Structure 1
Amino acid sequence: MRNVLAFSMALTAFGYLACNAQRGEQEMGPVFKEFTYRGDDQVYKEHPLEPDEFYSPILQGTYPDPSITRKGGDYYLVCSSFAFFPGVPIFHSTDLVNWTQIGHVLDRTSQLKVDSAGMSMGVYAPAIRYNPVNETFYMITTQFAGGFGNIVVKTKNPHQGWSDPIKLAFDGIDPSLFFDDDGKAYVVHNDAPDKGKERYQGHRVIKIWDYDLEKDRVVPGTDKIIVDGGVDISKKPIWIEAPHIYKKNGRYYLMCAEGGTGDNHSEVIFSSDQPRGPYVPAAENPILSQRHLPKDRPYKVDWAGHADLVEGPDGRYYGVFLGIRPNEKGRVNTGRETFILPVDWTGEFPVFKGGMQPLSPKLKMPAGVKNKTGEHGYFPNGNFIFEEDFKGGVLDLRWFGLRGPRERFISLTEEGLRITPFATSIDEIKPTSTLFYRQQHNAFTATTTLDYAPASEKDLAGLVCLQKETYHYVFGVTKMGDDHYIVLQRTEDGNAAVLASEVVDLDKPIRLQVTAEGNDYRFNYAEGGGGFRNLGGTVSGDILSTNVAGGFTGALIGLYATSVNDILPNK
């Protein structure tokens, strides 16, 4: 009897181990062995760099709403990140040409709570400032998630992390700090007009508050409207926003975006004898815009605005700002990007040099600077290749998650990047098990190698091209019956349709590829060592553009896995 019991227990244990081994193998998820992104925009082929030139945008892809500050010879730049996790990418430079990403300002769940935020919610328009009086860096922003609202974080060293957020008691968006020579501090921001005084749709105001540096709060009762509507309220200007205050030669300058972050975008400037105003607009406004130029100009840059100024290493001023590079259909798939221009401030007001003319893809470098972009860890621009084998033990900072930390679903192994699938899909406003890279060119190729055998129709892994949860393509492998399939699904305004599917052999890793030539996208795959085959023909990139899908982000390329797949192959 004892032997029978022992044998029965052994069988039970064997079955338990076998079952758990199978479950564990399934739960371990797919392995992405490598990823290669190759940009191939015609504008850079036709405008090769001379030794004293560099390209603008300096940050290609969805890096919008740039803000910049300086401490001595060090420059720090931040951008909006919306529902991306980690949030607010931060870059460092000593010359305004060569930039390295040093991390993210909001990289902890205590700082960033976007788990239920739509793609274009979350973190808007960060402003970074250095206060020499207390030798502290501040980043102030609006976080439309997690019950935060307007917040500030700070650090003595941007390379070593930032504090948890301090909530600030005011409404509106786009806050910025100004530190005066006398040690006083102020917050300026966009807000609604006083109740009952809104005169038209898009009517906004700029407010200023005294800021208490000891208690990190706006001083109650000190709020004051310093711009009502914009440069000329009789013309009903819309969306005065993104304010920054500067001081030069004893005068105060307030620079703002006006016209909304689209076709009518511009940058305007005001001046005053006092930080709290009154502010008077310059006679010549705007000081930066592309809205008045011919629509059919070659290699068009548009939507220019939302700018910030800094004194460069050569003693001259420079401005960073957002702009777009639409494709041949006028669609904005690369999103709002970070550009730079020299600024002429020899007169009373700063003026972006060439900012009212068609923007050139390349600029002259500041004196004495050597272009090292794409080398030794410096961020690349122009046409470039990004390659990742995921075997270095450290994930490149250009990769990010959506609504939650990457570390919850990825692991870097000797085989490559393993994703443990979440029971959520790319359609949901929840954290997804997807690792994202920005689309940085209108013409590009992105390729990955996938080692994966889905166990059921609920399992899927592959590539996703995403604008937001309701606009995207999914290109991956799943299972139906005894066969494995590769599928291509298009989702537009939440309505999904399978465009094509084919049976594939997954005994060996499969290569997945997406290519784009402007608005034309193609999804290709290769089994084992074979050549690439197209699935679904040429499809439109319309659903990946900001001006079709709406919102504020550009297109993303994701390495995606899910355990709740509902995409069924066509039979």
Structure 2
Amino acid sequence: MITRKILFLFTIGFLCFFSLTAQQKNSKKKAHRQFPVFSNVVYQGDDEIYKKNPLNADEFYSPILQGCYPDPAITRKGDDYYMVCSSFAMFPGVPIFQSKDLVNWTDLGGVLNNVSEFNPHDTGISAGVYAPGITYNPHNGTFYMIVTAFTGNMGNIIVKTKDPKKGWGSPIKLAFNGIDPSIFFDDNGKGYVVHNDAPDKGKELYNGHRVIKVWDYDLEKDQVIPGTDKIIVDGGIDLSKKPIWIEAPHLYKKDNLYYLMCAEGGTGGNHSEVVFSSNSPKGPFKPSSNNPILTQRYFPQNRANKVDWTGHADLFLGPDNKYYGVFLGIRPNEKDRVNAGRETFILPVDWSGTFPVFENGLVPMEPKLKMPAGVVNKTGRDGFFPNGNFTFKENFTSEKLDYRWIGLRGPREHFISIVKNGLQINPFPVNIKELKPTSTLFYRQQHNTFSFSTILRYKPESEKDLAGIVCLQNERFNYVFGITKKGKDTYILLERTENGNSQIIASAKIDIKDTVRLEVKASGDKYQFTYALNGVDFQNLGNAVSGDILSTNAAGGFTGALVGLYATASNDAQPK
């Protein structure tokens, strides 16, 4: 009996030892699996327009937000201005900026930063969330951000805060359809919501026929009041001319008159801003006789330094007691392609007459503006957002990652970690071509001529592993420039995906001793991908390729191109 017991205990002990040893081996195997580590990222903008138009001491550049920051809306509390923009499927949702002088802006991150409340995980890049409005209500000391979300059956939502620097409350779903909402508070504290909507059922006259509606808003329940909706604009400034896409409405009050300003013409070459007035926030609204008050549609297409598609604007009183307006516009490259996306511009507004008019908004726009009196231009310094030509360097040594780094369809925090040598990306089993959150840390393309480089420490283990740089317009239009495996060999490759069809442009077998430096250089429409195994001697991977697939001209949608640090455990790009 004793002998059998001893034998039993010995057997159990041996099995436990064997099991523990196996676990340790597996653990070591996992620990030795090398995830890609990125360091020394440098983004450098080099647009010719800024070289030819250096700033004087009293000037600043417009756009104030370069790259994909469209559909701006702005509000003021005391000396502080807060501005929000569209973000679509980028995460966090609704980027927000703060300024005291309209020139120097601080990036506060994103309003919708809780993925359990806003989750664009399965949306196309041009869905997600767009066209926000932001309004400060002095009657209750509260900021309201209202927006349309195309994910999770959210629809139109509103969030609130007493201080935008300290975060926002949970989204409240609003009981109306349509898009582009904004909220207005009258002198007596009463609230109104205006938005774009379809005409009443059976009354749509043509494609692009839309209406503007207004609702009374219940501040206690944070909800539009049922039955108070009213159409205040049908079609646009002149329905007989079949105007299209009246949208992005904002209500204002000045000298006891109510003003309704809207975009009209669609967010393309016919885009414009128009304005109406009324004695009541619920109309009837009469259009200004000098509409449009902002557009670039009347000028030659081949003009130099072209700014186009201007519209989707918001008005406000500046620190010099003068009115200004922010709005979207584009700066196409030499092929007239829109790669950097729709950006946020600013112009002074002349409101000395009955109706406001954007100063120099009806002539070809210039890149420079006079600053409000007493302002010092600190853009790109002291923590303020840069503009013009600038260099952004990231070594991933700070505990707080710059807000310009974003995720797509999900938080960046789900796949990144700061390690000794830089930023480690823990690859998802998701390809960049899938309609899912990707393990890619993205940065917006902010210039037509730019370079983006990084040092990559990585040794792929299989053909399913890839890491490198991606230039992306959307999941069906992109370039992948990365390191992967073929058999026992390591390769670098460049893959072009156009309308969902992928092609290997170039590939080369490489021997990575330690790190590899990757770089993409764009000069207008031409993008060149290069690499250096010793960090110094760069080699081209193939010839320069066209940036056509990184433009909205080819890919469609509403976003600008993104460039990112990409890793996947579901690679399907195979070297030649």
Q: Report the TM-score range of the alignment, normalised by the length of the smaller protein.
A: over 0.9
- The answer as to whether partners of 2:79 and 2:319 remain within 8 angstroms in 1 is yes
Tell me by how many angstroms 1:393 deviates.
1.4
Q: Does 1:192 find its partner at 2:206?
A: no
Q: Does 1:221 find its partner at 2:227?
A: yes
Match of 2:304 among 285, 293, 298: 298
Instruction: Give, as a single letter, the amino acid of the residue that structure 2 aligns with 1:203.
Output: H
Which residue number corresponds to residue 20 of structure 2?
13
Which residue number corresponds to residue 90 of structure 2?
84
- The answer as to whether partners of 2:260 and 2:275 remain within 8 angstroms in 1 is yes
Tell me by how many angstroms 1:338 deviates.
0.2
Instruction: Give, as a single letter, the amino acid of the residue that structure 2 aligns with 1:96.
Output: L
Q: Deviations over 1:186-229 (max 9, x none)?
A: 00000000111111110000000000000000000000000000
Tell me by how many angstroms 1:231 deviates.
0.5
Which residue number corresponds to residue 356 of structure 2?
350
Instruction: Give, as a single letter, the amino acid of the residue that structure 2 aligns with 1:23.
Output: K
Tell me by how many angstroms 1:446 deviates.
0.3
Match of 1:396 among 392, 402, 420: 402
Which residue number corresponds to residue 101 of structure 1?
107
Which residue number corresponds to residue 288 of structure 1?
294
- The answer as to whether partners of 1:103 and 1:159 remain within 8 angstroms in 2 is no
Q: Does 1:440 find its partner at 2:434?
A: no
Tell me by how many angstroms 1:4 deviates.
8.7
Q: Aligned equivalents of 2:89 and 2:117: distance in 1?
A: 13
Q: Deviations over 1:389-446 (max 9, x none)?
A: 0011111000100111111100112211001000111001111101100000000000
Instruction: Give, as a single letter, the amino acid of the residue that structure 2 aligns with 1:25.
Output: H
Q: How many equivalent residue pairs?
A: 569
Tell me by how many angstroms 1:29 deviates.
1.6
Q: Does 1:509 find its partner at 2:515?
A: yes
Instruction: Give, as a single letter, the amino acid of the residue that structure 2 aligns with 1:116.
Output: D
Which residue number corresponds to residue 122 of structure 2?
116
Which residue number corresponds to residue 30 of structure 1?
36
Mind listing any 5+ residue stretches in structure 1 that lack a counterpart? Answer: none
Q: Does 1:464 find its partner at 2:470?
A: yes
Matches within 5 A, 1:271-420: 271-420=277-426
Matched position secondary structure for 2:387 = coil
Mind listing any 5+ residue stretches in structure 2 that lack a counterpart? Answer: 1-6
Q: Deviations over 1:289-322 (max 9, x none)?
A: 0011111110100000000001000000000000
Q: Aligned equivalents of 1:205 and 1:468: distance in 2?
A: 30
Q: Aligned equivalents of 2:415 and 2:32: distance in 1?
A: 15
Match of 2:493 among 487, 498, 505: 487
Q: Does 1:498 find its partner at 2:504?
A: yes
Q: Aligned equivalents of 1:111 and 1:175: distance in 2?
A: 19
- The answer as to whether partners of 2:94 and 2:130 remain within 8 angstroms in 1 is no
Q: Aligned equivalents of 1:529 and 1:443: distance in 2?
A: 22
Matches within 5 A, 1:506-545: 506-545=512-551
Match of 2:53 among 47, 50, 58: 47
Q: Deviations over 1:340-364 (max 9, x none)?
A: 0000000000000000101100100
Instruction: Give, as a single letter, the amino acid of the residue that structure 1 aligns with 2:299.
Output: L
Tell me by how many angstroms 1:16 deviates.
3.0
RMSD: 1.2
- The answer as to whether partners of 1:239 and 1:259 remain within 8 angstroms in 2 is yes
Instruction: Give, as a single letter, the amino acid of the residue that structure 1 aligns with 2:464.
Output: K
- The answer as to whether partners of 2:263 and 2:313 remain within 8 angstroms in 1 is yes
Q: Aligned equivalents of 2:224 and 2:354: distance in 1?
A: 30
- The answer as to whether partners of 1:487 and 1:501 remain within 8 angstroms in 2 is yes
- The answer as to whether partners of 1:110 and 1:164 remain within 8 angstroms in 2 is no
Matched position secondary structure for 1:108 = coil
Matched position secondary structure for 2:544 = strand
Q: Aligned equivalents of 1:420 and 1:62: distance in 2?
A: 26
Q: Aligned equivalents of 2:74 and 2:15: distance in 1?
A: 70
Instruction: Give, as a single letter, the amino acid of the residue that structure 2 aligns with 1:349.
Output: F
Q: Aligned equivalents of 2:283 and 2:183: distance in 1?
A: 15
Tell me by how many angstroms 1:19 deviates.
2.5
Q: Aligned equivalents of 2:329 and 2:58: distance in 1?
A: 23
Q: Deviations over 1:329-383 (max 9, x none)?
A: 0000000000000000000000000001011001000111111101000000000
Q: Aligned equivalents of 1:394 and 1:143: distance in 2?
A: 28
Instruction: Give, as a single letter, the amino acid of the residue that structure 1 aligns with 2:358.
Output: F
Q: Aligned equivalents of 1:312 and 1:75: distance in 2?
A: 9
Which residue number corresponds to residue 241 of structure 1?
247
- The answer as to whether partners of 2:192 and 2:217 remain within 8 angstroms in 1 is yes
Q: Aligned equivalents of 1:502 and 1:302: distance in 2?
A: 41
- The answer as to whether partners of 2:62 and 2:367 remain within 8 angstroms in 1 is yes
Q: Aligned equivalents of 1:178 and 1:6: distance in 2?
A: 74
Q: Aligned equivalents of 1:397 and 1:359: distance in 2?
A: 29
Matched position secondary structure for 2:116 = coil
Matched position secondary structure for 1:16 = helix
Tell me by how many angstroms 1:33 deviates.
1.5
- The answer as to whether partners of 1:35 and 1:388 remain within 8 angstroms in 2 is yes
Tell me by how many angstroms 1:492 deviates.
0.3
- The answer as to whether partners of 2:43 and 2:452 remain within 8 angstroms in 1 is yes
Matched position secondary structure for 1:536 = coil
Q: Aligned equivalents of 1:9 and 1:111: distance in 2?
A: 45
